[in-house]
Each structure stands twice: as structure tokens, then as C-alpha cells.
């Protein structure tokens, strides 16, 4: 067992957002490392992925003081992965505050928090380090919430590691893998020409970073950019998906012809309460579970988008023409982070998942 994994053996750890895209492989890795894992989920269906595993599952909202106290009690490490996209950014910040207040009252845990590279002012076109500015006002409610969360965590008396992944892809990534796969299965994806570079990090490398930083003995209040071994062309990623799916088309159009009339982030987005669609989504997930609900949504989208074409919106356009740099050098120097999933290895790993999605289409 590697040193950073053996350091977690027998440790009591809590994972919020455990049933999500990053949470599931993290829980599996923690169980394999011998940690005593508690998973906090919003509904009873959140426990389904962990049947047969040595995982203590609790049901409750992170923003519920009673649920938060029960979840953090006795924990030595808290991995906070939770973010509810069906709620407002302000509600997500408030939920973190509730969890953190309970952890601070306990006074024994260290926090490993997954933030995002979007907090930086110069994302996605700049050269970023952990000291890059993040003071630009506005942006999406998600960005604003992530910035607010980081600032609150850095003021905590507890040791805190803030991980800032770039574009996280892999099985279950709703946009960067499954979303693109759905678009290819329905028809085509249009890319700008010239295209930029995808700053992609595979989900297993994010899990590696979580494990390594949790074992850091002298953790203070620190931020770490988490990226893959090297960026790659968007067309290389999508062509890999296309080959694995056995269908779909990648088309190119002059970048100027795809440029949005209003650039992404130019107009501040209001932090609205959940839409009717989001409320239905939340209800569906509670009633039948996340996996079954998302499979139903995918099947419905396929029926509605025969021979469709996915063109980049303002957000995707900004990413697809950018060629910034986000080196994970500090993570490498501080706790030995060494991403192993380049594009080729990631595509080999995601192949069974995409094969299942392709079979569901037939």
C-alpha cells in the first residue's frame, strides 16, 4: 500500500456528495485504503452505490444543523464534495457554513474541499497559479459561491486543503463525458477553428489528489490547482469518444462564426431560486434515485434530438478557443501529486462506460 494510502488506514472520514461523479470513486478508494467511511447523502437513494461496501450511510441535507452534527461527530477528515446545482449559490454557501460550524465545534477534523479552477479571474485563457487573482466581480452564481466558500474555509481554525480541479472528465461527468457522448449519439458536435486546448483532468487523478493531500501531516490553509498530465485538443477528446461510441460526427466552423454576441461572463447571472425543471429533477432523484432518473432523462433527450447538432454556447465557446496554462506544480511539490491519466489512458478507462451508453441508444 502506498504511503499516502496507508496513512488513511483506520481513520474516520466523512464524504459529502459521496454518490456523485467524484464521490463514488473517492469512497471506493478510501474503503480500499482501510478508512472508516461515512457517506452523507440528501436522499435514501444516495446509499445505493455503496451496497456491499463497508460504508456508513447517513441521510440528510448538509445545511441541516442536526444532520451536519451527526455526520461530523468523531470524524478526522472531512472530504467536502457536495454542491447542489439545483439550488442557489447562496444556499450552497449556507450549507457549507452549517457543516463547517459543526466541524469547528468538534475541533478535530481537517477539511479537504473541492473547489474549481473557475474561481480565478484569468480562467480559461491565462497562465494560472494558486496566487493568481480571484477578485473579479460577477460571473456565474457557481463561481461566486466557490469564491465565497474558499474565503470562508481559509478563515477556519481547522486545517484546510482546497483543491481546484480544471475540467474533470470520466464516467458520469454530466457534461465533459456523458453530455458530449449524448451529443455524438444524437448527431454531431461543432468545434471552433482554430480550436484551443482542453485543460482536462481525469476523475481518478482528482481522487488521487484527495487521498494524498488528506495524508499531509503539516497541512495549514492551502490551495492546490489539480490538472492532468498535459492539455489536449478538444477534437482529440471528442474523436476518442466518437471512436468508442462507433457513431457521431465532429464538425468545424470558423471561430468567428461561432463567437457569441454576448461573451460568457459579460453580464452577471442572477442567483435564481431553482427553476421548475430543477425542482422536478430534485423530486425525481428523491423518488427513484439519481441513476434511474438520469437514465430516464437521457432516453428522453435521445428521442427529442435525432440527427441533432451541438454547437458551443457562450460558456463552451470561451473554453474551446482558450489556450491557457494551469500547472499543478504546487500539488506536485507539496504532496507528490502525479497525474497518471493522460488522454489515451483516460479513453481506455472510460471505454466500458461509453459502450454502455451506446448500447442504451440502440
List beta partners, residue 111.
78, 160
What does the block give as the cell for 74? Answer: 468523531
SS3 6: helix
237: left (phi over 0), alpha (psi -120 to 50) or beta: alpha
DSSP at 127:
B
CA nearest to 202, candidates 232, 234, 167? 167
323: number of Cβ within 10 Å: 12
| Domain residue spans of the chain | 3-170+197-232+325-340
Longest dimension (CA), the chain: 57
Q: Report how far residue 239's alpha carbon sits from residue 152's, in angstroms, rounded to the nearest whole number.
A: 41
Domain 3-170+197-232+325-340 has CATH 3.40.50.720: yes
| pLDDT string in tens for the chain (362-residue length) | 466 778 899 999 999 999 999 999 999 999 999 999 999 998 888 889 899 899 999 999 999 999 999 999 999 999 999 999 889 999 999 999 999 999 999 999 999 999 999 999 999 999 999 999 999 988 899 999 999 999 999 999 999 999 999 999 999 999 999 999 999 999 999 999 999 999 999 999 999 999 999 999 999 999 999 999 999 999 999 999 999 999 999 999 999 999 998 787 666 677 765 554 454 444 334 443 445 435 544 444 544 445 589 999 999 999 999 999 999 999 999 999 999 999 999 999 999 999 998 887 55
**Phi, psi at residue 87, to the nearest 5°?**
-120, 175
Q: How far apart are CA 61 and CA 48, in angstroms?
A: 17
What pTM, to 2 d.p., does this model score?
Answer: 0.90
Show the beta-strand stretches assigned E in the chain. 12-16, 36-41, 55-59, 77-80, 110-114, 160-165, 167-169, 187-193, 197-198, 200-202, 221-226, 232-233, 249-254, 308-310
C-beta separation of 15 from 81 below 8 A: yes
CA neighbor of 301 nearest in space, from 257, 360, 230? 360
Q: What are phi and psi of 341, to 5 degrees?
A: -100, 90
**In Å, how far from its chain's centre is CA 251?**
27
Rounded to whole angstroms, the Cα distance separating 29 from 14 reads 13
Instruction: Assign 13 to helix, strand or coil.
Output: strand
Q: Treating both helix axes as pointing N-terminal to C-terminal, what angle do 343-361 and 234-245 enclose, rounded to 10 degrees?
A: 40
Q: How far apart are CA 343 and CA 224, in angstroms?
A: 22
Amino acid at each position: 500500500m502506498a504511503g499516502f494510502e496507508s496513512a488513511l488506514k483506520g481513520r474516520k472520514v466523512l464524504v459529502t456528495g459521496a454518490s456523485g461523479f467524484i464521490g463514488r470513486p473517492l469512497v471506493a478508494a478510501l474503503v480500499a485504503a482501510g478508512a472508516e467511511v461515512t457517506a452523507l447523502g440528501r436522499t435514501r437513494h444516495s446509499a445505493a452505490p455503496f451496497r456491499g461496501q463497508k460504508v456508513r450511510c447517513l441521510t440528510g441535507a448538509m445545511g441541516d444543523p442536526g444532520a451536519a452534527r451527526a455526520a461530523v461527530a468523531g470524524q478526522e477528515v472531512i472530504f467536502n464534495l457536495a454542491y447542489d446545482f439545483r439550488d442557489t449559490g447562496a444556499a450552497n454557501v449556507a450549507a457549507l457554513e452549517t457543516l463547517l460550524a459543526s466541524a469547528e465545534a468538534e475541533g478535530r477534523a481537517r477539511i479537504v474541499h473541492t473547489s474549481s479552477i473557475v474561481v480565478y479571474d484569468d480562467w480559461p485563457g491565462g497562465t494560472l497559479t494558486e496566487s493568481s487573482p480571484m477578485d473579479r466581480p460577477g460571473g456565474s452564481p457557481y463561481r461566486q459561491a466557490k469564491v465565497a466558500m474558499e474565503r470562508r474555509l481559509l478563515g477556519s481554525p481547522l486545517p484546510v486543503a482546497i483543491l481546484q480541479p480544471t475540467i474533470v472528465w470520466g464516467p458520469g461527468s454530466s457534461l465533459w463525458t456523458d453530455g458530449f457522448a449524448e451529443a455524438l449519439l444524437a448527431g454531431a458536435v461543432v468545434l471552433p477553428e482554430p480550436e484551443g486546448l482542453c485543460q482536462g483532468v481525469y476523475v481518478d487523478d482528482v481522487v488521487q489528489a484527495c487521498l494524498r493531500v488528506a495524508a499531509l501531516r503539516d497541512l495549514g490553509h492551502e490551495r492546490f490547482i489539480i490538472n492532468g498530465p498535459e492539455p489536449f485538443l478538444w477534437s482529440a477528446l471528442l474523436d476518442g469518444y466518437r471512436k468508442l461510441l462507433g457513431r457521431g460526427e465532429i464538425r468545424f466552423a470558423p471561430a468567428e462564426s461561432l463567437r457569441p454576441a454576448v461573451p460568457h461572463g459579460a453580464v452577471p447571472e442572477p442567483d435564481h431560486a431553482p427553476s421548475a425543471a430543477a425542482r422536478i429533477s430534485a423530486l425525481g432523484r428523491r423518488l427513484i434515485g439519481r441513476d434511474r432518473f438520469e437514465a430516464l432523462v437521457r432516453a428522453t433527450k435521445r428521442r427529442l434530438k435525432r440527427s441533432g447538432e451541438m454547437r458551443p454556447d457562450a460558456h463552451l465557446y470561451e473554453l474551446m478557443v482558450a489556450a491557457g496554462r494551469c500547472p499543478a506544480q504546487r500539488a506536485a511539490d507539496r504532496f507528490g501529486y502525479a497525474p497518471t491519466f493522460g488522454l489515451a489512458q483516460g479513453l481506455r478507462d472510460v471505454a466500458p462506460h461509453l459502450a454502455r451508453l451506446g448500447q442504451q441508444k440502440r
